[in-house]
Chains A and B, each alone.
Chain A
Amino acid sequence: MGAIEKSILESLDQSAFNQWFDQRFEAKMAEREAAHVPSLSIIATKGTMDWAYPPFILASTAGALGWDVSIFFTFYGLELLKKDLHLEISPLGNPSMPMKMPFGPQWLKDINWKVPNLVMAGIPGFEKMATGLMEQTVKSKGVASIEELRSACIEADAKLYACQMTVDLFGHSQDDFIPEIEGWIGAASFLPVAQKSDVCLFI
């Protein structure tokens, strides 16, 4: 502490100063908090239909709440940025996934068909069928489609980043992806975005 600060502090009424400081500090902090726009960063790494939901639901909702949203799509997550979405779901090796009929009488809908992995793996087109049933369930329950949620994210100005390395690795062409992509970047570019955000999720 310099000599000037010392002399100022000595001439002050310490308790009055502390009281003033506490009040001022509280007010300033409240002001800052009120002006702060919350932000969300998501790292989306999965490309199946079921795993496409969490990032887009959270991002679109955060957008609706007025948050700043950034999503980094890497590895299989890049599938979520394709112009034509053909996302599939696999019940194979996924014991938590209920296998229920989306149609028919209630007693039929209530049955959870526990199909052994060995059987699922052996039937050609099993994943296509499961995907079709899931799509029907989503529709009948009034759950948004992935396309719808993705559009909501874009409308809310969520920044969608694609991982350049994955594009090279998997031999994708940039033309296959939606034009709204904010940038083709790498981990070094996204981490500083994530660092500044209030909420950061790896999905």
Chain B
Amino acid sequence: MNTNATQSLDTRGMNCPLPILRTKKALSILGAGETLAVTATDPGSLKDMQAFCKQTGNELISSSANQGEFEFLIRKA
């Protein structure tokens, strides 16, 4: 888990579309430029998070996969 992020969100065990819905909710209370670290186990989240960020204009700073766990760092636009 990225400790430098403003806020972190654990969506492990959740399935589509919950990780996206929770991410959206968590981002909504952040200010512009603040960051959110998301952990997930949903294999679809790797593609979905990219699409979500592209569509909503938020920046996907990094995404990584490690033994069935995915980590994303998002900067709010």
Contacts and interface: CB of A to CB of B under 8 A. Distances in A.
A183 B77 CA distance: 34
**Which of B15, B21, B25, B52 has most chain A Cβ within 10 Å?**
B21
Interface in B15-31: 15-18, 20-21, 23-25
A152 interface: yes
B20 A64 contact: yes
B56 A142 contact: no
A60 interface: yes
Interface string B1-41: 00000000000011111101101110000000000000001
A142 B15 contact: yes
Interface residue SS majority, chain B: helix
Interface in B45-72: 52, 55-56
Given A142-B14, A142-B15, A144-B15, A65 B55 contact: yes
Interface range on chain A (Cβ under 8 Å from partner) = 10 to 19
A99 to B, nearest CB: 20
Max count, chain A CB within 10 A of own CB: residue among B16, B18, B25 = B18
A142 B17 contact: no
B42 to A, nearest CB: 8
Contacts of A142: 13-15, 18, 41-42
A60 B56 CA distance: 14
Contact of B56 (A57, A65, A155): A65
A57 B17 contact: yes
- Chain B interface category by residue count: 10 to 19
Given A142-B14, A143-B15, A144-B15, A66 B56 contact: yes
A164 interface: no
A149 B21 CA distance: 9
Interface in A128-177: 141-144, 148-149, 152, 155
A60 B55 contact: no
A61 B55 contact: no
A148 B14 CA distance: 12
Contact of B17 (A66, A141, A144, A155): A144
A141 B18 CA distance: 12
A57 B25 CA distance: 16
Q: Lowest 10 CB-CB distances: which A-B pairs, in order? A: A64-B24, A61-B17, A142-B15, A142-B13, A65-B55, A143-B15, A142-B14, A152-B21, A144-B18, A64-B20
18 contacts: A60-B17, A61-B17, A61-B20, A64-B17, A64-B20, A64-B21, A64-B24, A64-B52, A64-B56, A65-B52, A66-B55, A141-B15, A142-B18, A142-B41, A143-B18, A144-B18, A144-B21, A152-B21
